Amino acid sequence: MQVKNKGVGIIGVGSYVPEKTLTNKDLESIVETSDEWIVSRTGIKERHIVAPGVATSDLAAYAAERALLDAGVSADEIDLIIVATATPDMLFPSTACLVQDKIKASKAAAFDLSAGCSGFAYGLVTGSQFIQTGLYNKILVIGAETLSTILDWNDRNTCVLFGDGAGAVVLGEVPAGYGILGIDLGADGSGGEFLKIPAGGSRLPATSESVSQRLHYLQMSGNDVFKFAVKVMGESAVKALDNSGLSSADVDCLIPHQANIRIIQSAAKRLKLPMEKVIVNVDKYGNTSAASIPIALNEALQDNKLKNDDVVVFVGFGAGLTWASCVIKWYKEDKTVV
């Protein structure tokens, strides 16, 4: 749908990835795989992995603090924290509440949002509604994951694909005509089986049997998710552009979910966009799920690939199955202190 009324946009951006990297070469000594297979099928060369004991809220809090600094906003000005994650620290309390405490955003309401790798874009759209209605002024939307903690390191079909990291944005009011112009959110629950962690919830509570059957690890039917992604990425971006009264010819920058270079290329092709307009960093981080779009956004800004007045499109897909697109006319004041 088209977004009307006041301008709601991103006024600060930050990201954080753990220091330790795991290269494709390193993976060759863990499972039967090769650098050649991983690069040619996915585009991934390395990924960042948390140290033992580090959890999603730790990464989320670092990214949030950087986004607050970038926005020139203090933690006690934040009205709401939304954390999109598939790897919360624990089932409850929410990771958003843990972040609220870590960054001392004592006035903020807080909740987690579960939409798989589409979670960050879902979170942006959700958060923007509170500002649009005038209820809240400043909102932190964070995508944060420690996927390395839920991977089956015996399963070469999945363990080579993912990485850890966090990205955060501060949402606030921007001049009319800027900010979020149009969105597209969707879900197809019939595809839930294709990407899941079977045990640890109410359907299959943890037992010694569920652990020995390795049911607490991520399971994926890669081919099914691939086919879904190729179909939905382009379609959803086009719908969000339509809803903004724009077409792909108006797009200056595409920031797609970073899962696989072949999926990204097919979305670019569907939108008839040259790859120079597409932000790609899957080679360095692997698939960081809900964190991938805000991490890529932060890099795009640092590399001067996104500037005021540009039209940028975020598009994601993921577990659920879900998809989400958001078209933004970019406007961000430079708050850097010199």
Residues contributing to the site for ligand UT7 (CB under 6 A): 33, 37-38, 41-42, 117, 156-157, 160, 195, 220, 222-223, 225-226, 229, 259-260, 287, 289, 318
d(CA 265, CA 259): 11
Contacting residues for 31 by C-beta, under 8 A, at least 6 apart: 153, 154, 155, 156, 159, 160
Which of residues 73 and 295 has its CB atom nearest to ligand UT7 in the complex? 295
Phi, psi of 82 (to 5 degrees): -115, 125
| Cβ 49 to ligand UT7 shortest distance, Å | 16
Q: Which is nearer to ligand UT7, 200 or 222 (CB)?
A: 222
Give the C-alpha distances (Å, rounded to integers) separating 318 from 42, 187, 191. Answer: 16, 9, 10
Catalytic entry in 97, 117, 253, 326? 117
Distance (Å, whole) CA 179 – CA 172: 9
Assess whether 257 carries a catalytic annotation: yes
Which residue's CB is nearer to ligand UT7, number 70 or number 164? 164
* Alpha-carbon dihedral angle through residues 115, 118, 124, 125, given to the nearest 10 degrees: -80
Between CA 139 and CA 127 the distance in angstroms is 7
Q: Residue 321 CB, nearest distance to ligand UT7 (Å)?
A: 9
CA distances from 106 to 89, 140, 143, 248, 324 (A): 20, 13, 20, 42, 30
**Among residues 253, 287, 298, 326, which one is catalytic?**
287
Ranked by CB distance to ligand UT7, the top (closest) residue is 222
| Least Å from the CB of residue 53 to ligand UT7 | 26
Residues whose CB is less than 8 angstroms from the CB of residue 175 and which lie 6 or more positions away in sequence, other chains included: 7, 331
CB neighbours (10 Å) of residue 261? 18
Instruction: Write down the least CB distance from residue 45 to ligand UT7, Å.
Output: 13
Closest to 141 measured CA to CA, from 128, 153, 151: 128
Shortest distance in whole angstroms from residue 217 CB to ligand UT7: 14
CB of 117 or CB of 297, closer to ligand UT7: 117
Given 257, 260, 298, 326, which residue is catalytic?
257
Q: How far apart are CA 138 and CA 128, in angstroms?
A: 9
Closest distance between ligand UT7 and the C-beta of residue 10, in Å?
Answer: 22
Which helix (H) or strand (E) covers residue 253, if one does? strand 253-256
**281 versus 287: smaller Cβ distance to ligand UT7:** 287
Distance of alpha carbon 39 from alpha carbon 78, whole angstroms? 41
Instruction: Between 172 and 316, name the residue whose CB sits nearer to ligand UT7.
Output: 316
Q: Among all residues, which ones are annotated catalytic?
A: 117, 257, 287
